[in-house]
Amino acid sequence: MLFDALPDSVSIYEVSPRDGLQNEAVTVPTTRKLRLIEALAQAGLTRIEATSFVSPKWVPQLADADEVAGLLPRVPDVTFSALCPNAKGLERALTTKIPEIAVFISASETHNRKNVNNTVEGTLAAFGEVIAPAVKAGLRVRGYVSTLWGCPYEGEIDPRAGLRIAHRLVEMGCYQISLGDTIGVGTPKQTRDILRLFMSEFSIPQIAMHMHDTRGTALANVVVGLELGIRTFDASVGGLGGCPYAPGAAGNVATEDLVFMLDGMGVKTGVDLEKLWTAGQVAKAVVGRDLPGKVHKAGVRSLRH
């Protein structure tokens, strides 16, 4: 049975310019961000979250969101998106040509409070001023539901709490919900159970997996998703971003590792691994530190002769 019904292709949603850079200690100059984004697009990535229209007070690393959005390269078939936490963010997004925004909420009440200084219910209410107006303005809206595999404050999270939030987001107009293992504690059997729960109430295109590799289990969890039919995976080149709860530890699954595995399984991504590796080297230069991605460290050329 195993892998007999793999999809021909899957969709990779690249988060490094936003989710990666917002977790870096350094603030990267705008031109360098654009160089990274350009390299990602050249590698064949077609969905790139470029920045976040969040208050510079909260995320100074992305204070240049308007400038980045205005200078995005025009590449055929590439959809850029940006995080929009509130109505003010949407207002800024609407002055740009970005065709897609994303909203972010936690399945954990405590994590949500610490992250956005609001209750889950309060955050959902505030999304009323973001999601529907964005859809009305012709934007697509994607929702993140984080800490579904576990919370750094509350520990285990009932995935049904995340399911209820996801329903609210979809009702408000989100076309896809990205299920997040925000602290990288997920294991494969748990992943099976969480995905089955969401798949029982949503369609495959509505579900994405956003896995962190903090304990080395990201690709093992992705394999479970593949086997169950999931076709959208978030990733960050080089594993850019790290884990805010464990300094020095890995965060987002590295896009190179994901593409390497999918290539080996015959699942198309549209991404050229050599060029992606080059984009990872750009990312490393841009942040000026070693990145945790495995293929990023091991290299591509030695892979396949």
Residue 186 touching its own copies (CB under 8 A) = yes
The correct pick among 132, 246, 270, 281 for binding its own copies (CB under 8 A) is 246
- For 19-44, give the DSSP string: IIGGGSSSPPPHHHHHHHHHHHHHTT
Residue 215 touching its own copies (CB under 8 A) = yes
Residue 249 touching its own copies (CB under 8 A) = yes
Total of residues contacting its own copies (CB under 8 A)? 54
Residue 200 touching its own copies (CB under 8 A) = no
The correct pick among 24, 129, 263, 272 for binding its own copies (CB under 8 A) is 263
Residue 279 touching its own copies (CB under 8 A) = no
Residue 268 touching its own copies (CB under 8 A) = no
- For the chain, give the DSSP string: -TTTT--SB-EEEE-IIIIIGGGSSSPPPHHHHHHHHHHHHHTT--EEEEEE---TTT-GGGTTHHHHHHT----TT-EEEEE--SHHHHHHHHTS---EEEEEEESSHHHHHHHHSS-HHHHHHHHTTTHHHHHHTT-EEEEEEE-SS-BTTTBS--HHHHHHHHHHHHHHT-SEEEEEETTS---HHHHHHHHHHHHTTS-GGGEEEEEB-TTS-HHHHHHHHHHHT--EEEEBGGGTT--TTSTTS--BPBHHHHHHHHHHTT-B-S--HHHHHHHHHHHHHHHTS----HHHHH-SHHHH-
Active site residue 151: no
The correct pick among 28, 130, 254, 287 for binding its own copies (CB under 8 A) is 254
Closest approach of its own copies to the CB of residue 140, in Å: 30
Q: Which is nearer to its own copies, 66 or 109 (CB)?
A: 109
Closest approach of its own copies to the CB of residue 227, in Å: 6
- The answer to whether the Cα torsion of 41, 289, 216, 62 is positive or negative is negative
Residue 126 touching its own copies (CB under 8 A) = no
Residue 7 touching its own copies (CB under 8 A) = no
Half-sphere CA count of 255, side-chain side, radius 13 A = 40
Residue 75 touching its own copies (CB under 8 A) = no
Residue 197 touching its own copies (CB under 8 A) = no
The correct pick among 133, 188, 244, 270 for binding its own copies (CB under 8 A) is 188
Residue 187 touching its own copies (CB under 8 A) = yes
Return the range that interacts with its own copies (CB under 8 A); candidates 39-47, 67-75, 97-105, 296-304. Answer: 296-304
Residue 260 touching its own copies (CB under 8 A) = yes
Buried b (16+ CB within 10 A) or exposed e, 105-143: bbbbbbbbbebbebebeebbebbeebbebbbeeebbbbb
Of residues 30-59, which lie at the interface with its own copies (CB under 8 A)? Answer: none
Residue 299 touching its own copies (CB under 8 A) = yes
Which of 84, 151, 174, 243 is catalytic? The answer is 243
Residue 275 touching its own copies (CB under 8 A) = no
Return the range that interacts with its own copies (CB under 8 A); candidates 19-27, 61-69, 77-85, 221-229. Answer: 221-229
Identify any residues that bridge with 235 across adjacent strands, giving them in sequence order.
14
Q: Which residues bind its own copies (CB under 8 A)?
A: 1-3, 6, 152, 154-155, 183-190, 192, 213-220, 222-224, 227-228, 243, 245-246, 248-250, 253-254, 257, 260-261, 263-266, 293-295, 297-299, 302-305
Instruction: Provide the annotated active-site residues.
Output: 243
